[in-house]
A and B are shown apart, each in its own frame.
Chain A
Amino acid sequence: MGSQFRKFARNAATSSRSSSTTPSGGRVTVEVSKRLQQKINKRVRSIAANKGLMKGIAKFALLETKKYVRIGISPKTDKRFPPLAESTIRTRDSFDKKKNVKKSPYFIPDFSNLTMTGQLVRAMQMKYDSKNFQLIMVFKQSRKDSELKNDKLIEHLDSMGRYIVGVPKHVKSKIIKALNIFISRRSG
């Protein structure tokens, strides 16, 4: 899996698009226009359907965002994560050589995808506010390997320009498209 993933990740990262989405903190807004929101409220009507709708969207957004991070692209900027410094690569190399440590299958020593043990990306969760059509990205805080909390780690990564909080632009557009299809089906 390692070498296949390495090849796939490099290709995907090279072909990434840039965008200007700027979600802040743990709250990720999928840009659902007021008009679309009104349409959803008018056509979908039931709270249950709204909840199911947002639950599905959150599931999809989480899965796609995790994929994006693992192939080395920031879901916030839609650009590759900044390359790793030589010293970091050396640290990651020695981590790679350790026998009794559990490594993520997506870990590549010289590839910047915020992944070594995989705990940070696994800790990513997507909650939703079905009333306001918002996705809220949260992270489970505790880590097995240190007392460092994931929020602190994310803050540190942000300061290095490695933004993990966000939903990729193409995922957002898919969500909007899907919402429109959903509404038209329900209107039918």
Chain B
Amino acid sequence: MSQTFDTKKLFKRELTKDQKINFGELVKDTIVSRTLAGFNNQGSEKFVKYSKKYAKDKGVSRTAVDLNLSFNMLGNQEVEVSGDDVVISIDSADAAKAHGHQNGSKILPQRSFFGLSVKSVGKIVSSLKKDLKEDDDANRAEANETFKRAVDDAESEILDILGGL
């Protein structure tokens, strides 16, 4: 199970590999925290309640649905970078379980937890864009400072030479 994000399209610029990984990690964290809060992948609906038996066995109320017992399934999401794409997937060992929750099965109600809605992706993108802009501004200021220093150095050097002639 995987979801692919075209970062060039989303950010309208090239990202570095680290920036892409950072984006992927944020997507992963958003899925985990939203799932632990009991909301589905649209972020608007709570998951279907646990069965009475499962809730009793787990020792929680039926409404405390977080798809988390050992944290294996949620914790085994992987971030991969391929060109402009960032792919979030669930490790093959937990893929079957995840697929069962995501799509429902004979013995499991559908609890679509994986993936992000367009709105959630937009939120992550705009928050990252803000960070990128701050980084860009800082880099630009540093580059300007370096440029200015080089200009000043060359200027005082030539004035020094001219003064000595």
Using a CB–CB cutoff of 8 Å, the interface residues on chain A facing chain B are: 44, 46-53, 55-57, 59-60, 174-175, 177-179, 181-182, 185
Contact = CB atoms under 8 A, between A and B. Distances in A.
B157 interface: yes
Contacts of A55: 151, 154-155
A26 B161 CA distance: 26
A12 to B, nearest CB: 18
A184 B135 CA distance: 38
Contacts of A44: 154
Contacts, number: 60
A174 B147 CA distance: 26
Listed from nearest, the 3 A-B pairs whose CB atoms lie closest are A52-B154, A48-B150, A56-B158
Contacts of A47: 147
Interface in B114-165: 146-148, 150-159, 161-162, 165
Contacts of A48: 146-148, 150-151, 154
A68 to B, nearest CB: 15
Contacts of A177: 165
Given A55-B151, A56-B155, A178-B165, 4 more contacts: A48-B148, A48-B151, A51-B154, A56-B157
Interface residues of B, number: 16
What DSSP secondary structure best describes chain A's contact surface?
helix
B165 A56 contact: no
Nearest to A57: B158
A56 B162 contact: yes
B161 A53 contact: no
A182 B151 contact: no
A178 B151 contact: no
Nearest to A55: B155
B162 A175 contact: yes
Contacts of A181: 161
Interface in B69-99: none
Contacts of B148: 48
A50 B154 contact: yes
Given A46-B150, A49-B150, A52-B150, A59 B155 contact: yes
Contact of A59 (B150, B157, B159, B161): B159
Contacts of A49: 150-151, 153-154
Nearest to B153: A52
Nearest to B157: A182
A52 B165 contact: no
Contacts of B155: 52-53, 55-56, 59
26 contacts: A44-B154, A46-B150, A47-B147, A49-B150, A52-B150, A52-B152, A52-B156, A52-B158, A53-B154, A55-B155, A56-B155, A56-B157, A56-B158, A57-B162, A59-B159, A60-B158, A60-B159, A60-B162, A174-B165, A177-B165, A178-B158, A178-B162, A178-B165, A181-B161, A182-B158, A182-B161
